[in-house]
């Protein structure tokens, strides 16, 4: 199974989260915008609906107002007998189905000098037009003190009454349109009475209540006092005002809204309806009565379609994201499966198994290229390793051979010290550290006869095996010729001639060859291009000044100068190769002759081994870890002289 860090999981996480986020943002924005658009449209729709309802109600009211005013004007302008008056009222009711009842109520003194109430009234009673006299039918309160009479009387203009239950004249919930009418009496305008026409509130509210908005939306009607006339809350109708409900709900904002409504304003508001539902309401006044009509759209239902659409989209989006995840998993798996196999195979490869079979990837995409390259790499590696193995084997063989050569070379040089324990008249000590397995430097010392010790130091050009082989030849020649000839200049001339004879490789060697007479301390020496040795005697330590001489090997018939010095007992000769003076540190700074001279002055003198070890340590210290580039060879000879005994 892929782990937490696998490409598949990463891809799935990133892609699914990103797409889910994008989708959620899109969905949210869509919901928000739809809502805004919907609300904008709603306001227009609500206004239209409210205005059409207002228009329908208003039409009925205006018709009734017109008829009532017409009747009042007739009474003002014409003189009617009681019979004519009654038939006029009756036909008013008959001809106007919107009018429930109509009557004319007179002022007490309108019909003569004596106080008399007179108010004929016709109304529809179970489909029949019935006649009553209001002065008789109102049981407790004379018609003079009913709102429908009193208010227009006091105001002197047409008024629509607050809806009321008329007990005595109709016995229904009604609203009355009342118009005062006047007559002339001794030149002054005098109120004669009030013409009234009633409309049934029920038939009006039916119209309003029949409006269905969405599921639970509704239209409502409020009176001028804010009394609820039409509302789905039946208990509130004719019982609660908008303000009493606001008080019951302890909602000052609702009270403010109610005040706007009854003051004839119109508006579109989001509010908490009387049923506790957050709703949009458009309210508009019905001008003739001062009532308010409101249409209420529950917000939740309004947004239901949007919400449902959003839910559907959300489900679709969710399924989409799931499909996307599945697709991502599939694609990622097809990509990573060969990669995983490849990884497993390379794991094996890394552990050194180059025979492992790499998975076959047929696709031509990046993974295919990668797999192919891996195949090539594996082959190359395999080949390379094979070559390397062979090379290493060969090198190892050479190495072991070189080791043998080193041993051989080392064994060629006298290494046993003290070299002549039975000869107290002198000390000799030498060392050779090859830069490579085998070196080109060598030294030698041997007795030519009982008193003459031949010692020499040499440096073959070049290093390594060729130098070692050349050194072998040179050393052998120098020893055999040295024992035969017994004089340094002759030895060098002779060996030079032999070497130059068959020197195809143009190799050469520098040699300093000396013979010490152990009895006299006389040293005879010749130099073939070698570094001048140092002498430590009573005069101090210094370089010997000698004839330069030509190196051995390049050309025959070279003549070497024979020179001599006398060593006093205690004097020491120090011989070295350029591996000492040319030893380099990391800054490629040479050790140099002055440093060597300086070091020898500080070095212990008595024991030659200590002296040489000291110099070797000095040189090593100078090199400071830089690789040794040349063989380092030193020979020291100390003459002690003949001692008694």
Q: Which stretch binds another protein (CB under 8 A): 110-118, 156-164, 266-274, 598-606?
A: 156-164
Q: How far is the CB of 74 from another protein (least distance, A)?
A: 25
Q: At what angle do helices 488-501 and 464-485 cross, to 10 degrees?
A: 130
CA-CA-CA-CA torsion sign (422, 423, 429, 434): negative
Q: How far is the CB of 167 from another protein (least distance, A)?
A: 7
Backbone dihedral angles phi then psi of residue 434, each to the nearest 5 degrees: -70, 145
Indicate which single residue of 34, 244, 288, 461 sits in contact with another protein (rule: CB under 8 A). Answer: 244
Residue closer to another protein (CB basis): 178 or 493: 178
SS3 content of the chain, % helix, strand, coil (to 5): 45, 25, 30
Chain positions 161 to 180 lying near another protein, rule: CB under 8 A, are 161-162, 164-165, 167
Indicate which single residue of 243, 268, 417, 614 sits in contact with another protein (rule: CB under 8 A). Answer: 243
Q: Which stretch binds another protein (CB under 8 A): 160-168, 367-375, 387-395, 616-624?
A: 160-168
Q: Hey, how many other C-beta atoms are within 10 angstroms of the C-beta on 301?
A: 16
- Report the distance separating Cα 250 and Cα 242, nearest Å: 12
Asked if 155 touches another protein (CB under 8 A), the answer is yes
Asked if 262 touches another protein (CB under 8 A), the answer is yes
The per-residue DSSP string of 534-585 comes to EEEETTEEEEPP----PPBSSSS------EEEEPPTT-EEEEE-HHHHT-B-
Q: How far is the CB of 103 from another protein (least distance, A)?
A: 19
Residue window 134-153: x/- pattern of binding to another protein, with contact defined by CB under 8 A:
-----xxx--xxxx--xx-x
Asked if 159 touches another protein (CB under 8 A), the answer is yes
Q: How far is the CB of 322 from another protein (least distance, A)?
A: 55
Asked if 107 touches another protein (CB under 8 A), the answer is no
- Report the distance separating Cα 434 and Cα 457, nearest Å: 14
Q: How far is the CB of 150 from another protein (least distance, A)?
A: 5
Q: How far is the CB of 280 from another protein (least distance, A)?
A: 22
Chain positions 345 to 404 lying near another protein, rule: CB under 8 A, are none
Residue closer to another protein (CB basis): 242 or 455: 242
Residue closer to another protein (CB basis): 124 or 153: 153
Burial class, 156, CB count within 10 angstroms (exposed 0-12 / middle 13-18 / buried 19+): exposed
- Report the distance separating Cα 396 and Cα 93, nearest Å: 136
Asked if 238 touches another protein (CB under 8 A), the answer is yes
Asked if 444 touches another protein (CB under 8 A), the answer is no
Q: Which residues contact 195 (CB under 8 A, 6 or more apart)?
A: 68, 71, 72, 75, 102, 103, 104, 105, 178, 179, 180, 181
End-to-end C-alpha distance for the chain, whole angstroms: 96
The distance from CA 407 to its chain's CA centroid, rounded to whole angstroms, is 67
Residue closer to another protein (CB basis): 161 or 310: 161
Residue closer to another protein (CB basis): 240 or 618: 240
Total binding residues toward another protein, as defined by CB under 8 A: 35
Q: Which stretch binds another protein (CB under 8 A): 53-61, 222-230, 334-342, 505-513?
A: 222-230
Specify which residues 411 forms β-bridges with.
Answer: none
**Which residue bears the tokens 């989409």?**
320
Residue closer to another protein (CB basis): 147 or 449: 147
CA-CA-CA-CA torsion sign (595, 597, 602, 608): positive
Asked if 109 touches another protein (CB under 8 A), the answer is no
Q: Is 465 helix (H, G, I), strand (E, B) or coil?
A: helix
Residue closer to another protein (CB basis): 164 or 470: 164
Beta strands 426-433 and 632-639, pairing class:
antiparallel
Residue closer to another protein (CB basis): 115 or 140: 140
Q: How far is the CB of 137 from another protein (least distance, A)?
A: 13
Q: Which residues contact 338 (CB under 8 A, 6 or more apart)?
A: 359, 361, 363, 367, 371
Asked if 547 touches another protein (CB under 8 A), the answer is no
Q: How far is the CB of 149 from another protein (least distance, A)?
A: 10
471: left (phi over 0), alpha (psi -120 to 50) or beta: alpha
Q: Which helix (DSSP H) or strand (DSSP E) does residue 466 occupy?
A: helix 464-485
Q: How far is the CB of 292 from another protein (least distance, A)?
A: 11
Residue closer to another protein (CB basis): 272 or 605: 272
Q: In what order do the strands lie in the sheet with 509-517?
A: 441-447, 452-460, 509-517, 522-528, 563-566
Q: How far is the CB of 241 from another protein (least distance, A)?
A: 5
Considering only CA atoms, give the Rg of the chain. 68
Q: Is 540 helix (H, G, I), strand (E, B) or coil?
A: strand
Q: What angle (nearest 5°) sits at the alpha carbon of residue 28, between those of residues 26 and 33?
A: 95
Residue closer to another protein (CB basis): 240 or 444: 240
Indicate which single residue of 125, 247, 251, 522 sits in contact with another protein (rule: CB under 8 A). Answer: 247
Q: Which stretch binds another protein (CB under 8 A): 69-77, 255-263, 452-460, 526-534?
A: 255-263
Contact criterion met (CB below 8 Å) for 331 and 298: no
Indicate which single residue of 225, 278, 334, 353 sits in contact with another protein (rule: CB under 8 A). Answer: 225
Q: How far is the CB of 138 from another protein (least distance, A)?
A: 10
Asked if 239 touches another protein (CB under 8 A), the answer is yes
Residue closer to another protein (CB basis): 62 or 155: 155
DSSP 365: S
The residue ranges that bind another protein (CB under 8 A) are 139-141, 144-147, 150-151, 153-155, 159, 161-162, 164-165, 167, 224-226, 238-245, 247-248, 258-259, 262-263
């Amino acid at each position: 199974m892929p782990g937490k860090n696998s490409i598949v999981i990463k891809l799935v996480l990133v892609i699914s989260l990103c797409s889910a986020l994008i989708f959620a943002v899109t969905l949210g924005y869509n919901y928000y915008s739809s809502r805004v658009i919907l609300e904008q449209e709603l306001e227009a729709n609500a206004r239209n609906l409210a205005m059409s309802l207002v228009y329908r109600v208003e039409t009925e009211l205006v018709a009734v107002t017109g008829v009532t005013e017409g009747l009042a004007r007739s009474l003002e302008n014409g003189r009617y007998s009681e019979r004519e008056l009654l038939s006029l009222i009756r036909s008013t009711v008959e001809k106007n189905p919107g009018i429930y009842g109509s009557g004319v109520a007179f002022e007490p003194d309108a019909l003569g000098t004596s106080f008399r109430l007179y108010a004929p009234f016709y109304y529809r009673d179970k489909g029949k037009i019935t006649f009553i006299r209001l002065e008789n039918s109102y049981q407790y309160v004379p018609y003079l003190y009913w709102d429908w009479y009193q208010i227009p009387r006091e105001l002197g203009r047409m008024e629509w009454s607050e809806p009321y239950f008329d007990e005595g004249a109709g016995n229904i919930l009604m609203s009355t349109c009342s118009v005062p009418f006047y007559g002339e009496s001794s030149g002054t305008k005098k109120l004669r009475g009030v013409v009234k026409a009633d409309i049934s509130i029920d038939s009006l509210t039916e119209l309003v209540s029949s409006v269905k908005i969405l599921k639970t939306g509704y239209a409502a009607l409020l009176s001028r006092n804010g009394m609820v006339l039409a509302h789905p809350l039946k208990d509130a109708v004719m019982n609660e005002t908008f303000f009493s409900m606001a008080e019951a709900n302890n909602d000052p904002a609702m009270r403010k809204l109610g005040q706007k409504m009854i003051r004839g304003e119109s508006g579109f508001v989001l509010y908490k309806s009387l049923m506790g539902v957050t709703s949009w309401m458009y309210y508009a006044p019905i001008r003739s009565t001062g009532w308010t009509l409101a249409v209420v759209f529950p917000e939740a239902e309004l947004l239901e379609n949007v919400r449902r659409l959003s839910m559907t989209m959300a489900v679709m989006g969710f399924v989409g994201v799931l499909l996307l995840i599945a697709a991502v998993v599939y694609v990622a798996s097809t990509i990573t499966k060969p990669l995983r196999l490849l990884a497993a195979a390379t794991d094996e490869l890394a552990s050194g198994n180059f025979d492992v079979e790499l998975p076959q990837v047929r696709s031509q995409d990046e993974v295919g290229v990668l797999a192919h390259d891996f195949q090539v790499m594996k082959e190359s590696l395999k080949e390379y390793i094979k070559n390397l193995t062979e090379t290493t084997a060969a090198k190892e063989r050479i190495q072991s051979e070189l080791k043998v050569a080193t041993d051989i070379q080392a064994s060629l040089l006298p290494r046993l010290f003290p070299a002549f324990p039975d000869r107290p008249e002198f000390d000799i000590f030498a060392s050779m550290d090859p830069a490579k397995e085998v070196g080109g430097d060598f030294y030698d010392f041997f007795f030519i006869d009982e008193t003459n010790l031949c010692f020499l130091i040499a440096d073959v050009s070049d290093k390594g095996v060729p130098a070692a082989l050349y050194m072998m030849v040179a050393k052998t020649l120098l020893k055999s010729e040295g024992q035969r000839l017994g004089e340094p200049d002759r030895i060098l001339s002779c060996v030079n001639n032999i070497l130059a004879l068959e020197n195809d490789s143009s190799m050469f060697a520098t040699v300093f060859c000396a013979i010490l007479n152990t009895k006299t301390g006389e040293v005879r020496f010749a130099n073939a291009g070698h570094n001048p040795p140092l002498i430590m005697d009573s005069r101090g330590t210094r370089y010997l000044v000698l004839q330069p001489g030509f190196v051995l090997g390049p050309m025959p018939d070279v003549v070497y100068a024979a020179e001599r010095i006398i060593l006093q007992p205690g004097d020491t000769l120090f011989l070295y190769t350029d591996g000492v003076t040319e030893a380099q540190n990391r800054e490629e700074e040479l050790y140099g002759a002055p440093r060597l001279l300086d070091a020898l002055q500080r070095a212990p003198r008595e024991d030659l081994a200590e002296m040489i070890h000291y110099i070797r340590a000095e040189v090593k210290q100078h090199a400071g870890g830089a690789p040794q580039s040349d063989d380092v060879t030193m020979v020291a000879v100390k003459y002690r002289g003949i001692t008694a005994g």
